[in-house]
Amino acid sequence: MRITVIQNGKIRDKHVIALRDEYVKRFKRYGTLKLIEKEPKKGQSLWPNNAWRVLLDERGSVLTSPEFAKQLDTWTMHHGDIALCVGEAYGHDQATKNEADYVLSFGSMVMPHQLAHLFLVEQIYRAGSILAGSRYHHE
């Protein structure tokens, strides 16, 4: 799997960064996980070219961890690279929303963008472990 997590804005909390970096390191056995933190300039897209674009938003589809793993596997098979975008404190701009191929939600509760970022990276690692059959995820 080749996955890019795009964070609209910067993650500033050193504790969140340390946990996130640990999951990124662990994911290396399952694929490539790249992190991009940037603020879009007016008229410029956050999304990389040629990637399946997944927007995180509370109004999106809710998946279980095994469903998310299966979805990542399907997207990888059909589209190759996958990009998942986490909004900043006030969400996403309309242009970023309009360019998304899929909208994913972690549930109807809203969380701080830094925690959504960390949760997404952990779920990507969990998905890799589910697909590989490791014991990290247990039901």
The domain that holds 64 is classified in CATH as 3.40.1280.10
- In this predicted structure, the answer to whether residue 42 has a pLDDT above a threshold of 90 is no
Q: Name the percent of the chain lying above pLDDT 90.
A: 78
What pLDDT score was predicted for residue 93? 87
Q: What value, to the nearest 5°, has the Cα angle with vertex 66 and ends 114 and 49?
A: 60
117 lies in some domain: yes
Residue 139 within a domain: no
pLDDT score, position 139? 65
Residues 76-130 have pLDDT tens digits of 999 999 999 999 888 888 889 999 999 999 998 888 999 999 999 999 999 999 9
Question: What Cα–Cα distance (Å) separates residue 43 from each residue in 4, 113, 117?
Answer: 21, 22, 24
How many domains does the structure of the chain reveal?
1
For residue 138, being part of any structural domain is answered with no
Global pTM value: 0.94
